[in-house]
């Protein structure tokens, strides 16, 4: 199909309008189109950490969340071979941490789990790492399970850009990179973090969770239990996690 004219690009054959400065992800989401992602959030700056949003732009692979939209671009999103790459990324993420969905408070509300279902992931494919990472339960209202962190940096950016506290950072390199808490002891309870922070609610998986609020919404009635992630209006889906 020939590219649409004007301030539109083609997304899997659909003409998507965009505004100046918008990324492919932002424009597609505003148009109600689902581009798989883990580290993107409409209220936060770009990261490009997870690479789940890779799309083909005029034949070249690019991250939709960091690539500016331009008139006439031909973008391919849900192509089977691109979804296969996404599935492999997800499989690597699942084995790198400890993601035991049936016992996780975030099940049914987890972006990693929902995206795994969407990509047709049926098993880990790779050997499990089974890391042994300490849980930080030092804060009175919030706890961190580092075994579930996917290093998307959403909490890092939320704490910096919205909360203006810089409670979180990613430290280390490669396989040793990990989430850090900025406090004298490295413990959350020793930081300026508050349960009212946006960083307290932005975690897409079950790594940062409130205390004393387990399974308030029953399993089976949560947002990704009700509809596949690709079927939910994208703006609503992200707004669920927006700053309060």
Local structure of 189: helix, strand or coil: helix
Asked if residue 44 binds ligand FES (CB under 6 A), the reply is: no
Closest contact distance (angstroms) between CB of 156 and ligand FES is 13
Interface residues for ligand FES in 64-83 (CB under 6 A)?
Answer: 65
Pick 37 or 106: Cβ nearer ligand FES: 37
Asked if residue 154 binds ligand FES (CB under 6 A), the reply is: no
Binding range to ligand FES, per CB under 6 A, among 34-42, 158-166, 198-206, 235-243: 34-42
Local structure of 26: helix, strand or coil: helix
Size of the site for ligand FES (CB under 6 A): 12
Pick 115 or 201: Cβ nearer ligand FES: 115
Among 62, 63, 90, 104, binds ligand FES (CB under 6 A): 63
In contact, 200 and 209? CB cutoff 8 Å: no
Binding range to ligand FES, per CB under 6 A, among 42-50, 81-89, 184-192, 193-201: 42-50
Q: Which residues face 57 on adjacent strands?
A: 60, 75
Binding range to ligand FES, per CB under 6 A, among 32-40, 123-131, 180-188, 212-220: 32-40
Nearest to 135 by CA among 207, 67, 47: 207
Dump the DSSP string for 99-168.
Answer: --GGG-TTTTS-HHHHHHHHTT--S--S--------EE--SSSEEEEGGG-----HHHHIIIIIS----E
Pick 55 or 208: Cβ nearer ligand FES: 55
Nearest to 92 by CA among 107, 65, 112, 108: 112
Query: Which residue ranges make up the site for ligand FES (CB under 6 A)?
Result: 37-40, 48-53, 63, 65
């Amino acid at each position: 199909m020939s590219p649409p004219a004007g301030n539109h690009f083609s997304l899997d054959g659909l003409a998507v309008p965009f505004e100046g400065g918008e990324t492919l992800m932002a424009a597609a989401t505003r148009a109600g189109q689902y581009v798989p992602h883990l580290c993107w959030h409409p209220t936060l700056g770009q990261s490009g950490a997870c690479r789940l949003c890779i799309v083909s732009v005029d034949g070249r692979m690019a991250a939709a969340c960091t690539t500016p939209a331009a008139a006439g671009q031909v973008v391919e999103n849900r192509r089977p071979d691109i979804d296969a790459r996404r599935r492999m990324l997800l499989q690597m993420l699942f084995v790198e941490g400890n993601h035991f969905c049936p016992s996780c408070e975030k099940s049914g509300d987890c972006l990693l789990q929902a995206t795994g279902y969407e990509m047709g992931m049926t098993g880990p494919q790779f050997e499990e790492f089974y890391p042994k990472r300490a849980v930080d339960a030092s804060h009175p209202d919030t706890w961190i399970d580092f075994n579930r962190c996917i290093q998307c940096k959403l909490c890092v950016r939320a704490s910096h850009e919205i909360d203006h506290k810089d409670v979180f950072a990613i430290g280390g390199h490669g396989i040793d990179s990990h989430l850090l808490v900025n406090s004298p002891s490295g413990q959350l309870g020793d930081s300026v973090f508050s349960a009212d922070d946006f960083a307290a609610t932005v975690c897409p998986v079950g790594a940062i969770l409130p205390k004393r609020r387990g399974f308030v919404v029953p399993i089976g009635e949560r947002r990704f239990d009700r509809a596949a992630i690709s079927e939910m209006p994208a703006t609503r889906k992200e707004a669920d996690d927006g700053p309060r």
